[in-house]
Structure 1
Amino acid sequence: MVKESLPRELFRLYQLIWKRFVASRMENAKYKTTSVKLGAGEYIFTMSGSKIVFDGFMSVYTDDDEEKASSDAVIGKLKVGDELELVKLIDLQHFTQPPAHYTEASLVKALEEQGIGRPSTYAPTITTIMARHYVVKEQKNLYVTELGQIVNSMMVNYFGSIVDKEFTANLEQLLDSVGDGKVNWKTVVSNFYPDLESAVDQASKELENVKIADEVTDVICENCGRNMVIKYGPHGKFLACPGFPECKNTKPYFEKIGVSCPKCGGDVVIKKTKKGRIYYGCSNAPECDFMSWNKPSSIKCPKCGSYMVEKGNKLLCMNEECGYTENKPKE
């Protein structure tokens, strides 16, 4: 009935929302996992497989039969003492990768999992730490700044019990209880405030003013000849003359990405629109009008020699007549 009354795109959206909602109210899927150790002389090889024994939410949310298929078809037939034939030995080396940087979505997910904050506070929290330059957003990733590291270190040293994630999660539950009328707010405050007041008093006595050393650049102030430094303002980084207040010269700061402009050979820099959308332009603007929404690559197109840009895990040639693409090299 619904399918016939909606266009294909709207029906697919409706179907996705319906499946997600229904799946969220269902039990988790259950698997039977089997692990096997194979002895080969002095070496031990391990393998594991899993078999789904209860579909749970996957009965409505997962249409891919491969996800439901058993991955222990071979392992399930093995018995203790079986001798296996070596068909092929693949020599591969794997390196442990560091944890990925948080994105806004993964940070919200982590807050949810640890019981910190509420849906109404997630967005303001992320907005605040970015506005105060504790983190910066590059592409989709969030990176901690030097200021953020210093503030975090100070908070851990002087307010360790308060910034503890378990304390924060418990306080959230207490505040929910206050909202439900189960706990008197004065009781919560009286239990919490003395420790906070003591920590603030101690920090006020011991904590010195923290100054972050300015990052010197190779940009020369045209008024006094000094090397300009990077400062933080309400709208992010900017260049300022270290001779302030004698010299009050300032300039916009644009971060270089290490790629030359394909039009004039200048530096390609990161810029933002008035709405905050990132794009890439030339440091010689407005004389050079180069602009790209996708990050230019230092790799030239092997087919036509034109410049290429990054798009997902691909490199695309920007020469429309060429159309060459290749996989993005792993960093």
Structure 2
Amino acid sequence: MIKLLLIESPGKLRKLAQILGREWIIKASMGHVRELANDGEDSLGFDLSGDTIPCRYEARGSRGKKVLAELRQAVKQSDQVYIATDPDREGETIGWHLQQALRLKNPHRVTYSEITPQAVKAAVSKPRKLDQSLVAAGRARDCLDKLVGYKGSKHVVWKLNNGAKSMGRVQSATLHLLCQREREILAFKPQDYWSVWVEYGEGFKAFYRASGKPKAVHPKEPTDAPGDKKVPESDRVTTQAEADRVVEIARNNPHHVFSVEGKTAQQSAPPPFITSTLQQAAGQKLKFSPDKTMKVAQSLYEAGHITYMRTDSVMLADSFCQAVRSYLQTHDPQNLPAKAKKYKSKGNAQEAHEAIRPTDVHQTPDSLNVSGDDAKLYELIWNRTVATQCKPAELQKTRVMTQAADTRWEARGQVVTFAGYTKYWNNLSADSQLPVLKKGQVLKLKKADSEQKQTQPPPRYSEPKLVQLMERKGIGRPSTYAPTVKTLKERDYVGVLKGKLQPTALGLELDGALEQLLPDLIQPEFTAQMEAELDQIAEGQKDWEVYLNGWHRSYFAPALDQAAKKIGTEVVVSQSGDGRKSTGRKGAKNQSVPAKLTKFNCPKCKEKMGKVPSKSKKLKADHFLKCSSEACGAVMFWNPQGKKYELPYAERPVDPEAFTNHPCPVCGALLEKYRYTKEGKQKEMLRCSIFEHRKGKCKEVAYFQGREGFWSPKFGNLEVAST
């Protein structure tokens, strides 16, 4: 009996073939194979006129058609079909699309969170049916995102005529967080203050306490970064005269120990990694962007080294916890607690999933046969996971108050007396050991002085910190964090300055306009509520068509109408990055048709194209072309090399003759021919046919034409087979 296993990524093919054996045919869908058609009102591909939502799906481009044709042939050759797309909402939806496109009557749905013989064989031995509630939530998300993105972009963003290309449900709420912080920074006014301190001959430093009482300490969650970067300082003194007065008291009076407090404290390990915390830790420790972190994690997952990397659950399987305890018993018995540690996820986490962990704890970073970025990220995951099952760290904390006349000074110290989990994951502040002191002890003053400082504006967010904020605010889900940040950068709404995300003038202007035109939609709480509604659909508590129709009729359609009236009759004012006010266009008739028509006809509907000015640094010219037809809205950009206007790459018709029979050495998709001009000569090269991959994991896949065929600087000569 021949069994067909349908998966998403071709990177898993070899590993799964080794596990399942010859009686299995394994085929990859290359991710999504179908998408909503670009037809109907505003090219949505679905209708919102009735109580139901009829959706029109089509193959995702020529690649999707080719993949589906190959999968149909594989279905004919097999007796049973198993759908093993990724174990999340998106994977369930892709599985449903495969069922529909391939006309599968009773496919078996299997899921596994790690590509190991035990997990995969257990999954195929106990298949289930597709979860229609998860599918409904996935379809609702697709329709909701296209509804907001297409209608919002066409009827609001494009009419601003400022070069902005799009808005989105998650994208715009995330941009708003960045712009809010930027406006706080612009409005910030620094203030001078002084920190006053004394240094004693006994070998420690103490800081002025104006109240005479120890400074309150607010407990905080352990972070993913070792060391406490906050510089200790005194209570703030607001004038130079007051600072000088306190220093003089310190210099002219004897000092003694007023009080000594010591206590033993314990600190437990942070929980195992979920998607957001992995992205944060990899950003802080390895300087990986969220997008890079997910690509490296995908590689480790496909190789069978870690569990599935898109998860919001901190749960660890009991069997794995026992395996870690066995490892510690052998290699670090002093760190073995009495019982395994259990971690509890937030209320909206998918508890059926596990946290991100190694598939085999005995596969240590030193023994795993990987290198480069894969090795770095695996070591991070392995260390964090083992740390979660270790004993807490034990700390000896000391606080000393000293006194001179009527002024008091405070010194703090901390010593790790038992490393515990920090042997594998050190997130403690640096030790600062104080000498042994007694109450009433006379101290020798070595130095007393003050340091002038300035209050600092709130910092901009790094990519890991933004992901942390998105998770805390409930914006998006594990699979959307990295793509959202990437989109904001690609749209030129956000730039990177000294490792921090800074909104561009275009991003600030767009956010300012949306704050007036669609104020609810960009609020994190509003977006988080939509995510909660999608979760209820996934749990079978809501009908997705009822929800989407209701949301559109009660909120979105009226909001768009109101925004259109504001654009048509009012001046849209937004705050630019330099604090100046910028004014949008006024008058409805100027918004539907770009100001200056050109001689170029739209390649889609043949109407005239209009020239729209743009300051975007991403463009090769100071403008782009936009179709004058409201029903079309196509845009074209100038290509200086070809000396012509072109549609966005994703919208250009694909030449089927460009495909070759050679697979991409990274992702397995077919290579395509690409012709270009160099030094006045026409040349040809081969590259991955998946556009998204060429920007990411397949960007180094390039075979150039030589005398003896095609060759690659990284992958060597291409074995040319007859075609």
TM-score (normalised: structure 1) = 0.50
Correspondences of 1:275-294 after superposition (within 5 Å): none
Q: Which residue of 2 aligns with 1:269?
A: none
Q: Which residue of 2 aligns with 1:195?
A: 555
Cα drift, residue 138 of structure 1? 4.6
Matched residue type, 1:17: I
Cα drift, residue 146 of structure 1? 1.8
Matched, 1:19 2:383: yes
Matched, 1:91 2:450: yes
Correspondences of 1:268-279 after superposition (within 5 Å): none
Matched residue type, 1:61: W
Q: Are the aligned partners of 1:131 and 1:234 in contact in 2 as well (CA < 8 Å)?
A: no
Q: Are the aligned partners of 2:492 and 2:617 in contact in 1 as well (CA < 8 Å)?
A: no
Partners of 1:89 and 1:126 in 2: how far apart? 48
Given the superposition, is the C-alpha separation of residues 2 and 124 from structure 1 closer, same or farther in structure 2, using an over 3 Å criterion?
closer
Secondary structure at the aligned position of 1:91 is classed as strand
Given the superposition, is the C-alpha separation of residues 82 and 179 from structure 1 closer, same or farther in structure 2, using an over 3 Å criterion?
farther
Given the superposition, is the C-alpha separation of residues 87 and 191 from structure 1 closer, same or farther in structure 2, using an over 3 Å criterion?
farther
Matched, 1:103 2:103: no
Of residues 490, 502, 508, the one that matches 1:149 is 508
Instruction: Name the larger-Rg structure.
Output: 2
Matched, 1:60 2:430: no
Cα drift, residue 19 of structure 1? 0.9
Gaps in structure 2 of 5+ consecutive residues: 1-361, 574-581, 584-612, 624-637, 642-693, 697-723
Matched residue type, 2:425: Y
Of residues 205, 230, 235, the one that matches 2:618 is 235
Q: How big is each residue's C-alpha offset from its partner over 1:204-229, in whole Å with a ceiling of 9 and x where there is no partner?
A: 2223465968xxxxxxxxxxxxxxxx
Q: Which residue of 2 aligns with 1:115?
A: 474
Given the superposition, is the C-alpha separation of residues 187 and 32 from structure 1 closer, same or farther in structure 2, using an over 3 Å criterion?
farther
Cα drift, residue 150 of structure 1? 2.0
More strand by share: 1
TM-score (normalised: structure 2) = 0.26
Of residues 178, 183, 203, the one that matches 2:542 is 183
Gaps in structure 1 of 5+ consecutive residues: 214-229, 241-248, 253-273, 277-331
Q: Are the aligned partners of 1:115 and 1:169 in contact in 2 as well (CA < 8 Å)?
A: yes
Partners of 2:438 and 2:516 in 1: how far apart? 55
Given the superposition, is the C-alpha separation of residues 88 and 131 from structure 1 closer, same or farther in structure 2, using an over 3 Å criterion?
same
Matched residue type, 2:381: I
Greater mean deviation of Cα atoms: 194-203 or 81-90: 81-90
Q: Quick one: percent identity of the two aligned structures?
A: 31
Cα drift, residue 145 of structure 1? 1.6
More helix by share: 2
Partners of 2:461 and 2:477 in 1: how far apart? 18
Given the superposition, is the C-alpha separation of residues 174 and 49 from structure 1 closer, same or farther in structure 2, using an over 3 Å criterion?
farther
Q: How many residues align?
A: 227
Partners of 1:24 and 1:237 in 2: how far apart? 51
Q: Are the aligned partners of 2:566 and 2:572 in contact in 1 as well (CA < 8 Å)?
A: no
Q: Which residue of 1 aligns with 2:488?
A: 129
Partners of 1:195 and 1:21 in 2: how far apart? 44
The structure, 1 or 2, with the larger RCO (C-alpha pairs under 8 Å, 6+ apart) is 2
Partners of 1:155 and 1:167 in 2: how far apart? 14
Given the superposition, is the C-alpha separation of residues 100 and 210 from structure 1 closer, same or farther in structure 2, using an over 3 Å criterion?
same
Secondary structure at the aligned position of 1:182 is classed as coil
Given the superposition, is the C-alpha separation of residues 88 and 237 from structure 1 closer, same or farther in structure 2, using an over 3 Å criterion?
farther
